[in-house]
Chain A
Amino acid sequence: DIQMTQSPLSLSASVGDRVTIICRASQDISNSLAWLQRKAGRAPESLIFHASSLQSGVPSRFSGSGSGTDFTLTINGLQPEDFAIYYCQQYNSYPPTFGQGTKVEVK
């Protein structure tokens, strides 16, 4: 199985900050990478697919980049509703696998 490693596992930030989360795959996954957001008590929400394509309805302050093994999720201008846990997921090969998650907390 492809291992997905995220860093950092947690970070503290303030509203308005630029936040960057890194995801690394154990082997080349091309651009078959998604980012999702999970808030307590709510359904996880898919943010980005194909490494950089925004899911419909997702604010443009979210952006993704990367290909191969190294990927980045950036939030430009963190908003109060963005404090959550973020996961990357590879869908290049079976089985789909996820990163450990990065918790974005209030500084």
Chain B
Amino acid sequence: DTAVSQTPKYLVTQMGNDKSIKCEQNLGHDTMYWYKQDSKKFLKIMFSYNNKELIINETVPNRFSPKSPDKAHLNLHINSLELGDSAVYFCASSPNSPSRLPYNEQFFGPGTRLTVL
């Protein structure tokens, strides 16, 4: 069984479109994350949710909006897509709120490769 899954795996779209990426974890974890990995493989955290509550919101354009309908799901919606949004987006989860668990061991999904034309 896949622990952290993301759909779609590949997403090719035109500039200006709106798209969503879905993430689900079946590990029973409380915290979920979105990361962006650029073409140079640099990983940058975007958002983190704990029990459906936003706890980390990095400097990300407000075209990006995360939504957590329940603690097992964290979706990422992107409005007005731009060329610079092309990247691989990773979802991750960790067992507990980082402020309660001393260390933040994260489990990653397989990634969604977004290409904006």
User: Are A and B bound to each other?
Assistant: no
